[in-house]
Structure 1
Amino acid sequence: MRPAWSVFQLGAREHYAIPRALLARGVSTRLVTDLWFQGAGRRFLPRSLGDRSHPEISSRTVRSFNGPMLAFEAMSRWQGIRGWPLIEARNKRFGRLASTIDMGEIVFSYSYAALDVFEKARGSSRLVLGQIDPGPFEQDLVEQIHDRHGLARPPRPSPEYWERWNVEHELADVIVVNSEWSRTALVQRGVSSDKIAVIPLAFESKTLTSPPRDAPTRFTQASPLQILFLGQVIARKGVIELLQAARSLRNEPVKWLVVGGGDSTLLEQMAAEPSIDVVGPVARSTTEQFYRRSDVFILPTHSDGFALTQLEAAAFGLPLIVSRHCGDVVVDGVNGLTLGEVSPEAIVQTVKRILDQPALLYEMGEQMRNRRQLRIADLGERLTSSVSPQRVTR
């Protein structure tokens, strides 16, 4: 029987939140994904592959392409394909495989791998595009950041990458973004605002708890303020400004914990700073320990579609220091602090405010624990509402 929704997803993005949300609402849903491993055999897999499933999704509702996609990855590695050529080839390979599946009444696919699916489903299904980032606006912004810091510009995708993206947007009936920041970026690039639905990310996990934290009276070198950055260590995430701020605060009772992989030069520079502990890349399933060790989470990003790490940190009751260029989680001065700009000076000023008012950390943490986040059930309701006949625009 034709499902109400077909969700096409390359990778484990957002812990499979979209199909989970729809299934939680009792909506007939099929997940079509590249890799899926469920059952006892998962314990023999590498950790990165063992995460490719979710207990809330039955394998009966999943269609995956384990054999063809694993063969693709092995062949790509053998041929030395990496970077943008690998990303583009992977998107196309998954799209071609996914387009062989029968389509639901509503087809949801994430951007950059949606074109083949949309071209098959057009005319018979309503098409919903999940735009994962601010698109070409962000690419241009990143190049400006690299230019400003005298860094080599990162590699660009091929012109075909953005051509395919444009067609995806033309075919979509509804474009789902996760923040006002992304919506504004798309509109600036000519995407019709009538097509765009802003739906924040949902996050909930039965394994997370947020135990009460003692209110600190002051921070010392023996008991410093512990600030966590968890994510890609790249210029777009504001880590250059973070590093400069850490150098300025070297004599203050502050320790920085940097978790994630990325730019090797930036990682080396951060590791050389005595106040920064660089952990490097870790599996998603091991991040809990780093949130529990920290007092506050920082994300001075120049651009993010949302940044799920904000919600993960919030689940542990951590107040946030964030820029305005991502999803809206922080109410400034209530459950966190918003940077006026992404600069070393702004980061230093914000950290010093916490050092001078340590009780503020406790107060913001309490507010964060009491904040109602968007739950999976809420996400399902917003998704189904977004494709009501009134929202569908050609």
Structure 2
Amino acid sequence: MPKSATSPQFVVAQLGARRHYAIPRMLNDAGMLSRFHTDICATKGWPRLLNAVPPSMRPARLRSVMGRIPSGVPSHLIETHGRFGLDYARRLTRARGQKEIAEVYLWAGNAFASQVATQGFAGASGVYTFNNGGLEILRTAGAEGLRTVMEQTIAPRRIQTDILEAERERHPDWAEASVVSAADDALIAREEEEWQAAGTILCGSAFVRDSIARAGGPAERCVVVPYGIDSGYAMPCDSTGHESRPHDGPLRVLSVGTVGLRKGAPYVAEAAERLAGRAAFRMVGAVSVPPAAQRRLSAVLELTGPVPRSEVARHFAWADVFLLPSLCEGSAGVTYEALSAGLPVICTHNTGSVVRHGSDGYIVGLRDVDAIAGHLDRLASDPDLLAQMSAAAAARRGDIDLDAYRQRLLAALAVAPGTERLTA
């Protein structure tokens, strides 16, 4: 859509390909995107040279970079920070342990936001940032009288730290010893300073909003805006054109995301052990647990390791049910993708999902393996129930696609700062 003289114009600053570049795409469709800053994308700068590498010689990391294609965002509006992005990727690759990773995140958020703020916001009336990567932008824009919006993509780091500390005590063999470093404390402080600099804080779920309040943040400036995803995650079709997922054998249970404590890996393992022979489990994502825990997982389920975004759809096509017993999320995008793929979703409240309990999935308590195993066993035993819940999940596509998300986002941005209502 062409820009309107009366429409607000936003500079978006985003590290990575979060939700397939949904925010800049939607703002551009609405004629509200002034500029999009990011670290690396496949269509600008040096990453374009990667197309010369034969497909058979592209490792997973390279395929991941080449999958960063901001479709729907005009090239002339994209400003990449390629040298920074390369340095960021190199530092993350070399980081060892929680302390060093926190130091990289702290450096990256400051370096990226400082670069964007230095370039200025010519022609824009507002900025849109994400937690940890926006403080300098928010402060500079606020001083210039621009609208300041940040998205809190996950529960506050202070709350994450508390939850994970408790989880390490429960499962000491599933994570390295906790080292809350000066960088962790600085990341917590940085995030909370971003709240103070933002006029509007968008949250993907009530869990995030309530967690900000629990951390002492400005809940009155929080607005809950559930996400949405591309419609490309549809179930396979049979020869008649009807959607179906026929196969022989046990129930197929999929989890997608980093394999670690935060996403409930110990509880996936225990459920897989209980349902051995009744269900086949697959976990897609980087494995972030010690060798002993990884061996326990490998004994009862399939670990694929990291998979580029462009290749995730085939794993959804494989599955019957999606499982994500996370302890802390924002509003996990993979649960939207699973629903859109016609997969009933079993998750926790802390996953921040839009699942309707008993209709298109089940909401279970934290660490409640009895409930997880019970629901999976029921779906494995009752094909009609599985088909009914799968159909209900697929029927959510209109509620959770980008068009619906765009309407929710634009409605939130239309509200004057300071008058936000706590919607859920």
State the TM-score, normalized to the length of structure 1: 0.90
Change (3 A) 1:253 1:370: same
Once structures 1 and 2 are overlaid, which stretch shifts more, 367-376 or 312-321?
A: 367-376
Residues 188-236 of structure 1: CA distance to partner in whole angstroms, max 9, x if unpaired? 11122220010111101447455322689xxxxx611111111111111
Change (3 A) 1:86 1:384: same
- 1:199 corresponds in structure 2 to 225
Choose which of 108, 119, 138 in structure 1 pairs with 2:160.
138
Once structures 1 and 2 are overlaid, which stretch shifts more, 26-35 or 231-240?
A: 26-35
Residues 43-67 of structure 1: CA distance to partner in whole angstroms, max 9, x if unpaired? 2472122122222111111111113
State the TM-score, normalized to the length of structure 2: 0.84
Alignment of 1:175-214 (within 5 A): 175-206=201-232, 208-209=234-235, 211=237, 212-213=243-244
- 2:56 corresponds in structure 1 to none
Query: Across the two proteins, how many residue pairs are aligned to each other?
Result: 386
- 1:147 corresponds in structure 2 to 169
Choose which of 358, 363, 366 in structure 1 pairs with 2:391.
366
- 1:219 corresponds in structure 2 to none
Q: CA RMSD in A?
A: 2.6
Change (3 A) 1:55 1:150: closer
Q: Which amino acid aligns with 1:116?
A: E
Choose which of 100, 105, 114 in structure 1 pairs with 2:125.
105
Change (3 A) 1:182 1:105: same
1:355 and 2:380 matched: yes
Instruction: Measure, in 2, the Cα distance between the counterparts of 1:370 and 1:384.
Output: 24
Deviation at 1:174, TM superposition (A): 0.4
Secondary structure of 1:236's partner?
Answer: coil
Contact kept in structure 2, 1:332 and 1:338, CA below 8 Å: yes
Instruction: Measure, in 1, the Cα distance between the counterparts of 2:90 and 2:387.
Output: 49
Q: Alignment identity in percent?
A: 24
Instruction: Measure, in 2, the Cα distance between the counterparts of 1:332 and 1:26.
Output: 37
Instruction: Measure, in 2, the Cα distance between the counterparts of 1:76 and 1:303.
Output: 22
Which structure carries more relative contact order (alpha carbon 8 Å, separation 6+)? 1
1:53 and 2:69 matched: yes
Choose which of 16, 31, 34 in structure 1 pairs with 2:21.
16
Change (3 A) 1:247 1:375: closer
Show structure 1 runs of 5+ residues with no match.
217-221
Contact kept in structure 1, 2:347 and 2:364, CA below 8 Å: yes
Residues 152-194 of structure 1: CA distance to partner in whole angstroms, max 9, x if unpaired? 4444343222221111111110000100111111111112222
Deviation at 1:373, TM superposition (A): 2.7
1:116 and 2:116 matched: no
Alignment of 1:236-255 (within 5 A): 236-250=262-276, 252-255=277-280
Contact kept in structure 2, 1:187 and 1:193, CA below 8 Å: yes
Alignment of 1:296-335 (within 5 A): 296-335=321-360
Instruction: Measure, in 1, the Cα distance between the counterparts of 2:418 and 2:401.
Output: 25
Deviation at 1:73, TM superposition (A): 4.2
